[in-house]
Amino acid sequence: MTTRSDRRPHIGGRASSQDCPRAGYVMLTYDEDYDPLVVETRCKTWGCRSCRDKVLAAVKRRMEYGCSMIGSSWLITLTYRSGPDILVPDADTVAGDQRLLFRFLKVRNPNLTWFKVVELTARGIPHLHLIVGGLIGTKGRCGSPRTSNWVDQECNIGCIQHEWGKAWQAITGSYVVGVSAVLGDRGAAAYLAKYLAKSHYLREPYEALGFKRRWSCSRNWPRANVQLRGSAEELWKKVLVVPKGGRIGVYLETRMEASKGHALLDEVGPEEIMKVVRRAKLSGLRKAAEKQHA
């Protein structure tokens, strides 16, 4: 029996990996004279009940980090037409319309960057919720009345809603486009994460329309590359993945506590990673110069 707490999305909650069917351990060997370091691993898939909240939190952090890096950004909602005689667009149709829209908008906005989440309304109509950066316009909306021909009315300030509305109407026939400024990175990420959680706790309607992925982002969406210090410095001599249970699994479980707090298990961000890369390049240049003079 499914309880109310099983259905409720927990954004960023602490999910235990003990119930994950593919949980295990990663044994990291960095020196033959020392015991290996051990970290716990999970499947990290949306279908796993114990992992999906962790995955959702990771996607939310990615949205939040991107918002903090792109500067001025906007929350934009694209709506399809609905009606008894209108076919509901499937995943392939939505993807094609999205490609046409961004191809058109990039002519004027070459630095366009975006993060998108698909929502299905109660009628099963797709809505596209986006965080968008790199736009030329500085005004989100003007005072034009929202009638069926509002996109054809003159806009003296060149607002973003008119630009996107004209393009969206030309592609889909719908003129309904919502635009609002992002006032906070955390709030914008939580807004999209709400619809992302909804899509994964109500999977059947999405899968019926072919939506295998509920979120996507542009290639230039900022991403915080975080690695273990041992990975960044390429110090692992051997990496072994072991499932839970069995003699080796039981042994590695006892090594978990001893591995906590080790410096090589610290997570380092892009700046530290680049320092490691620069040191490696300088070391390579020195070695090459020594060979030439030898």
Report the alpha-carbon distance of residue 142 to residue 173 in Å, rounded: 21
Question: Average pLDDT of 13-42?
Answer: 78
As annotated, the residues of the chain forming the CATH 3.30.70.1910 domain(s) are: 53-217
C-alpha closest to that of 42 among 8, 14, 65, 19: 19
C-alpha closest to that of 264 among 38, 59, 111: 38
3-state secondary structure of 228: strand
The model's pLDDT over 177-229, given as tens digits with 9 standing for 90+, comes to: 899 999 888 889 999 998 888 887 778 888 889 888 889 999 999 987 788 88
What is the 8-class DSSP label of residue 264?
G
Least confident of 89-98, 261-270, 281-290: 281-290
Q: Return the higher-pLDDT residue of 103 and 143.
A: 103
| Contact yes or no for 82/240 (Cβ under 8 A) | no
| Both structure tokens of 260 | 């906590």
- Bridge partners of 132, per DSSP, are 74, 114
Question: Average pLDDT of 49-71?
Answer: 87
Report the alpha-carbon distance of residue 24 to residue 150 in Å, rounded: 57
The predicted model scores a pTM of 0.75
The model's pLDDT over 99-133, given as tens digits with 9 standing for 90+, comes to: 999 999 999 899 999 999 999 988 889 999 999 99
C-alpha closest to that of 191 among 178, 208, 202: 178
Backbone angles phi, psi at 140, to 5 degrees: -75, -45
| Single-letter amino acid, residue 217 | C
Tell me the CATH number of domain 53-217, given options 3.30.70.1910, 3.20.20.70, 3.50.50.60, 3.50.30.20: 3.30.70.1910
